[in-house]
Amino acid sequence: MSATVAPPPARFGAYGGRYVPETLVAPLDELTAAYQAAQADPAFAAELDELRRTYAGRPTPLFFARRMSEELGGARVYLKREDLLHTGAHKINNCLGQALLARRMGKRRIVAETGAGQHGVATATVCALFGFECVVYMGEEDMARQALNVARMRLLGAEVRGVAAGSRTLKDAINEAMRDWVTNCRTTHYLLGSVLGAHPYPAMVRDFHACIGREAREQILAATGRLPAALIACVGGGSNAMGLFYAFLADQSVRLIGVEAGGRGAELGQHAARFHGGSPGVLQGTFSYILQDAAGQIAATHSISAGLDYPGVGPEHAELHDRGRAEYVAAGDQEALAACQYLARREGIIPALESAHAVAEARRRAPGLPRDASLIVNISGRGDKDMEIIARELPGLASPERACG
Amino acid sequence: MRLTEAFTAARAAGRCALVPFVTAGDPSLAATRDIVCALAAAGADVVELGVPFSDPVADGPVIQRSSERALARGTRLADVLELARAIRRRSPVPLLLFGYFNPILRYGLERFAADAAAAGADGALVTDLIPEEAADYRRALAARGLAAVFLAAPTSPDERLAAIAAASTGFIYAVSRTGVTGAREQVPAAARELVARVRRVARQPIALGFGLGTAAQVAEVGAFADGAVVGTALVAALHRAVEQGGEAAAAPAAAAFLRSLQP
C-alpha cells in the first residue's frame, strides 16, 4: 500500500487536535465539511443572521455601568449584555449555528451536555424551533443545583438524562454525550456547547460566538471613540471569552483577561483554575491545559458555578495563554457571590454566577486604570437560574419565617 | 513480532485467536496477575491489559465500573507496567496494553515505551489516539520494538482504513459496531463487511472486538476474522465471581470463562 497517514488536524499552536475513538473521525470530517460549505454559502449566513436578530435578540447592548465605574474610581466599565439574549445566556449563538448545520447534514437527533443548564436550555430551545429530537446529558449534582433549568429543558420537549458517573458534573455529562454520539453518529449531531472537544468544534463554536466581540468592538468605538484597555470574561470551557476576544486578537493594546473558577482554594480538587495548577494534557478530544494528578488521571474540580466547574479549557485559550496574548486569573466562590450582589445593587443586573467571576475581576482591575480608559465585561448569562444558590449563600435573602407570616 | 505470530499460529491451527481483555487492578493487581496467567493457561492467544482511566469515553458501563474500582484501589500506569513484568515472569502470553492517551502522555511517550518494553509488554492500543495524532507515539513504540495497534471502525471510509493499515503494527483491531464497549446478543452484519474492507488494504491480522462474549459469537467471528476480543462479558463474569467468592475466585472464573468460549 502506498497510503500514508494524513497530517494532524488543525491546531492552535501545539493545542487542539482530535483525540477521539476512530468511529468519530468520519462524523467529525462530515461536520468539518458541512461547516466549510456553510461558510461559503451566503444563504447560511443570511439565515443565521436573521435568527440572531429576530429570534435570539442580537445585537445585545453594550451598557455603560455608571454607578459601578464611579464607585471603583478608575476605568469606565462597560457590560456586554449577553444575558439579555433569548434563553438568558450567550449559548444560543452557538446553538443556532449548529442547528442549521445539523439540518444541512440531515441529522434530526441532537445530543448535548450541559453544566449549569444554560447550554442545555439553549439546545432544547433550538431543537424545539427546528423540530429535532433532543437528549441532554447532565450530571446529577448539576441537576440538583440547577433544577430550574432541568424543568425548562423538559418544558421545551427535551429528554434530560442524569449522569451518575464520576463527579456527576459537566465532565461526566460530556463523557456520556460522547458515548451517545459514538453509538448514534450516523443519525445524530453532537451539539457541543463550548470551544472544547475535537476539531472542528473549538474553531467552529468560537466562530458562532464571534458576533459578541464584533458587536462589542463597534459599540465601544461608537461610545468612546477608542479601543478598550481590557476585556474581561469568565472561562469555563471558554466560549463566551473566545467570542468576545476574537475580534480583538489583532488589537495588541487591548488586554484579554480570562477569569477561571478559584472555587474554595488553591488545592487540587477545590477549584477549576486550569492555568493555575493545571498542565497540558488530553481530555475529551483535545490537547489543552487540564487539571490532572501526577499519573494523568483527571482531577476533581469545584466551583459554586456549574458552568465553570470543568477540568479542561478550550485549546485556543491554551495557545493565547502560552504566547502571552491573554492572561488568566482566578476568582473564588465568595468573590463571585459578592460580585453578583454588587452588580445587582449597583446596576440592577443580576449576573449568572459564571459571569459574576468576570465582574469580580473587573472590580479589582478598574481602580488601577485611568479614568479615560474603558474595559468591557462580558455578562455572559443572567442569574435567575442561580437564585436558589445565591439565596442560600448570601445572608438576608431567604427568610422562611417572613414567608410563612 | 510476537503479536502477529500469535494470530498466525492460531490460524495455522485452524482457529480464531482468542483475545481476552481485563482491567488491571480490578479487583487487585495481584489478582489480575493470576487472572492473566489463568487465561493464558486456558488458551488465550493474546491478553489485553486495560489501563484504568478516569474518563473512559469509549467504554460502556461494565468496563467503566471496573476502571473505577481499579482506580479506587490506586492503580496507575506505573503499577500496570509492574504488573506486566510480574505476568511476564510467569507466562509468555503476548500482552497488549490497552487504554487512553492522557496517562501515557503524562508518563512520557519515550519513558512509557522503554518501561513497557522492559516489562515484557508487546504493544499498546490507545483508544483515543488516531494515526494522524500518533507520530511521536508510533516512533517511540517502534524504537522499542513495541506494536502500535490502531482501531478500524465501521464508519471509517476506505482511504482511512488504508492509513490505519499503514500505521498499525502487530494487528488491526476492528470495531464491530458504532458504540462503546459492551456485550451484545448478535454479531452485527456490518462487522463482516468491515473486516473484508480492512482485509483489502492490510496484510496484518485483524481482530474483531466490541460486543463479543459467547462461544457461538467467537465461532461466527472466526469465519472471517483472525481474532476475537472478549472484554465486557469477561470483566462482568470476573466481577460476579469476586462478589460471590472473593479475589481467590477470580482466576478460576477467568479460566472457566475462557474455556467456555472454545468449541
The helix or strand, by DSSP H or E, that contains position A288, with its residue range, turns out to be strand A285-290
Average pLDDT, stretch B217-235? 97
User: Could you say which of 3.30.70.270, 3.30.379.10, 3.40.50.300, 3.20.20.70 is the CATH number of the domain covering B2-260?
Assistant: 3.20.20.70
Please list the rounded mean pLDDT of every run of 10 residues in chain A (405 residues).
Answer: 59 97 97 95 98 98 98 98 98 98 98 94 98 97 89 98 90 95 96 97 97 98 98 98 98 98 96 97 98 97 94 98 98 98 98 98 98 98 93 83 47
Is residue B48 part of the annotated active site? The answer reads: yes
Distances (CA, A) of A22 to A272, B201, B249: 30, 17, 36
Residues 6+ apart with CB under 8 A from A55: A86, A96, A129
Q: State how far the Cα of A93 lies from the Cα of A111, in Å rounded to an integer.
A: 17
Quick check: B107 and A295 CB within 8 A? yes
Is A80 in the active site?
no
Measured CA to CA, the distance from residue B161 to residue B155 in angstroms comes to: 10
Which SS3 state, helix, strand or coil, does residue B259 take? helix
Q: How far apart are CA A135 and CA A120, in angstroms?
A: 9
Q: A393 is written with which cell numbers?
A: 449563600
Q: What is the pLDDT of residue B42?
A: 98
Tens-digit pLDDT profile for residues B61-84:
999 999 999 999 999 999 999 999
| Contact across the interface for B131 and A5, Cβ inside 8 Å | yes
User: What is the structure's pLDDT at A282?
Assistant: 98
CB A194 within 8 A of CB A236: yes
Contacts by B140-145 with C-beta closer than 8 Å and gap 24+?
B140/B109, B140/B110, B140/B112, B140/B113, B141/B113, B141/B169, B142/B169, B143/B110, B143/B113, B144/B113, B144/B114, B144/B116, B144/B117, B145/B1, B145/B117
For chain B, the domains span 2-260
The verdict on A18 touching B (C-beta cutoff 8 Å) is yes
Q: With contact defined as beta carbons under 8 Å apart, do A168 and B68 qualify? A: no
ipTM of the shown complex:
0.97
Q: What is the DSSP string of A316-384?
A: HHHHHHHTTSEEEEEEEHHHHHHHHHHHHHHHS--B-HHHHHHHHHHHHHGGGS-TT-EEEEE--BBGG
* Bridge pairing between strands A15-19 and A11-12: antiparallel
Please tell me the pTM assigned to this model: 0.96
Mutate to test the interface with B, among A23, A167, A186 (most CBs of B within 10 A): A23
Among the partner-chain residues B128, B159, B162, the one whose CB lies closest to the CB of A21 is: B128
The yes-or-no verdict on residue B159 having pLDDT over 50 is yes
Q: Is A1 in CB contact (< 8 Å) with chain B?
A: yes
- What are the pLDDT digits (tens) for B109-155? 999 999 999 999 999 999 999 999 999 999 999 999 999 999 999 99
pLDDT recorded at residue A6 = 65
Q: Which chain A residues are closer than 8 Å to B162 by Cβ?
A: 1, 3
**Given an 8 Å threshold on Cβ–Cβ distance, is A166 in contact with B54?**
yes
How confident is the model at residue A3, as a pLDDT? 55
Residues B227 and B208: their CA atoms lie apart, in Å, by 6
CB < 8 Å from A in window 55-114 of B: 55-58, 60, 64, 68, 71, 76-78, 100-107
Is B178 in Cβ contact with A23 (below 8 Å)? Answer: yes
As a whole number of angstroms, the distance between CA A35 and CA B30 comes to 51
Peptide bond into B27 cis (omega under 30): yes
pLDDT at A10: 80
